[in-house]
Amino acid sequence: MSTYMIRPMPPRDPHEPHRAATPLELLFDLVTVIAVAAAAGALHHAIAEGYATQGAIRYLMTFFAVWWAWMNFSWFASAYDNDDAIHRVLTMVIMGGALVLAGGIDRFFGELAIGWVVAGYVIMRLGMVAMWLRAAWHDPARQATALRYAGGIAAAQLFWICLTLFTDHRAATFPVLILLGFVIELAVPAFAERANATPWHHHHIAERYGLLTIIVLGEVLTSAAMAIQTAADEPFDVRLIHIALSALVITFAMWWLYFADEENRLLGGQLHHALQWGYGHSVVFAAGAAVGAGFGVLVDIVSGHANLPVQVGDFAVAWPLAAYLLGLWFVRDRMVCSGSMRWVLPAFACLIALVPLVIPALEVIAALAVASLVARYLLRPAPQAG
């Protein structure tokens, strides 16, 4: 193999100008779209079939696996991506694992069979172990950090394999063990980065997170298209058009709130800020995709494919939307906003969550989403002269 296909992998310059997502990262995001869509689709059907609580819990479990693997790869690539053949092949292995995981989501929701989900997840994470071992070889200054990552990730995968092979999935202790596995996974970066922080690129990470936000908002647009298609294929019902329009309005409001200004960037270089920002976005991502699932439920209810009151569909949209606003507040507004502006998103999150209790009106939820954007803009501090 020629030398240009296998390169050294020193750490990237964290101040590198014009750093942007690579075509390989965009391909990785495309695979992530499939896994996110599978999780959101399974949540949609679980709610429509009357298993909302069970479906929400399993959705959060599967979404964690998809998001965590995406997040770990993105931060690693921000620090070490050299785009050689080995990096590309390992990334493609991780993508293959994501497809295996996505293919097992329906069985997990239906039968609590975790074999395929865990198999796909382990493939993804072992790909990351190989990447971190390579980083340990090429970056002696951060060898301890890289080895902590590799060892921690490998230990977590051993836990998931043992959980799959030796645990009764119907036992009351099973959810507790799942949570324990999540804690182990979440602890690895906090443990590893304390040895010597990896040189991730602020702008690159902010862009990667913005791209995933757009991906999850695509689930809402998919439901809008489904509403229009259902209106065209079945006896026309104007409520389906209302659903589609509301989905468009809410999507645009969610997008505008996230990309309102430069405040969505990652602040500072301290480890605790990076962890809060990086981990806190899990709420933004999971809630954004869940809003799309909620609109899918509404389409099923209005078209007669789900025997549920419309109010259930409104809740399925309102509560994830409220969580999305709270997630944005946690990762951004509580730290960068001042005065009344700091509390706009929590206030509107509460209003949106309560609307279905008072009036089953999707249009009101959409109007409040837009109003939160307007209120946040109007309450911005006036620029100081001079």
Residue after which a domain boundary falls, among 193, 211, 233: 193
Q: Are residues 178 and 228 in the same domain?
A: no
pLDDT at 333 exceeding the cut of 60: yes
Average pLDDT value for residue range 337-352: 93
The Cα 355–Cα 359 span in angstroms is 6
pLDDT at 263 over 80: no
Instruction: Please check the confidence at residue 3 and state whether its pLDDT lies above 80.
Output: no
Least confident residue range of 193-197, 250-254, 382-386 = 382-386
Mean residue pLDDT of the chain comes to 90
- Note the pLDDT of residue 7: 85
d(CA 52, CA 214): 25
Q: For the chain, what percent of residues have pLDDT higher than 70? A: 95
Within-domain flag for 85 = yes
Query: Is 140 part of a structural domain of the chain?
Result: yes
Lowest mean pLDDT among 23-32, 67-76, 228-237: 228-237
pLDDT (mean) for 362-386: 85
Spatial contact of 103 and 62, defined as CB atoms under 8 Å apart = no
Sorting pLDDT into bands at 50, 70 and 90, what band is 339?
confident
The mean pLDDT value for 106-132 works out to: 93
pLDDT band per the 50, 70, 90 thresholds, residue 2: very low
Three-class DSSP labels, the chain: CCHHHCCCCCCCCCCCCCCCCCHHHHHHHHHHHHHHHHHHHHHHHHHHCCCHHHHHHHHHHHHHHHHHHHHHHHHHHHHHCCCCHHHHHHHHHHHHHHHHHHHHHHHHHHHCCCHHHHHHHHHHHHHHHHHHHHHHHHCHHHHHHHHHHHHHHHHHHHHHHHHHHHCCCCCCCHHHHHHHHHHHHHHHHHHHHCCCCCCCCHHHHHHHHHHHHHHHHHHHHHHHHHHHHHHHHCCCCHHHHHHHHHHHHHHHHHHHHHCCCHHHCCCCCCHHHHHHHHHHHHHHHHHHHHHHHHHHHHHHHHCCCCCCCHHHHHHHHHHHHHHHHHHHHHHHHHHHCCHHHHHHHHHHHHHHHHHHHHCCCHHHHHHHHHHHHHHHHHCCCCCCCC
- Residue 239's pLDDT is what? 87
Q: Are residues 131 and 151 in the same domain?
A: yes
Residues 210 and 288 in one domain: yes
Decide if 7 is inside a domain: no
Cα–Cα distance list, 153 to 29, 237, 275, 339 (Å): 21, 51, 17, 42
In a domain, 383, yes or no: no
Determine the angle formed by the axes of helices 52-80 and 85-111, rounding to 10 degrees: 170
Confirm whether 17 is domain-assigned.
no
End-to-end Cα spacing for the chain: 60
Q: Is residue 161 a part of any domain in this protein?
A: yes
Nearest to 224 by CA among 239, 253, 245: 245
What pLDDT does 1 receive? Answer: 40
pLDDT band at residue 273 using 50, 70 and 90 as cut-offs: confident
* pLDDT score of 278: 87
17 versus 383: the higher-pLDDT residue is 17
**Claim to verify: residue 241 and residue 169 sit in the same structural domain:** no
Residue-number span of the structural domain to which 124 is assigned: 22-193
d(CA 44, CA 59): 10
Q: pLDDT tens digit string along 43-66?
A: 999 999 989 999 999 999 999 999
Give the closest residue to 100 by CA, choosing from 129, 120, 118: 120
Asked whether residue 116 falls in the same domain as residue 238, the answer is: no
Claim to verify: residue 235 and residue 275 sit in the same structural domain: yes
- Average pLDDT rounded to a whole number, residues 103-111: 90
Return the pLDDT at 384.
59
Looking up residue 235, the CATH number of its domain turns out to be 1.20.1410
Could you tell me if 41 and 146 lie in one domain? yes
Write down the residue that tokens 């969550």 correspond to. 353
Asked whether the predicted pLDDT for residue 386 surpasses 60, the reply is no
Domain count, the chain: 2
Flag whether pLDDT at 172 surpasses 90.
Answer: no
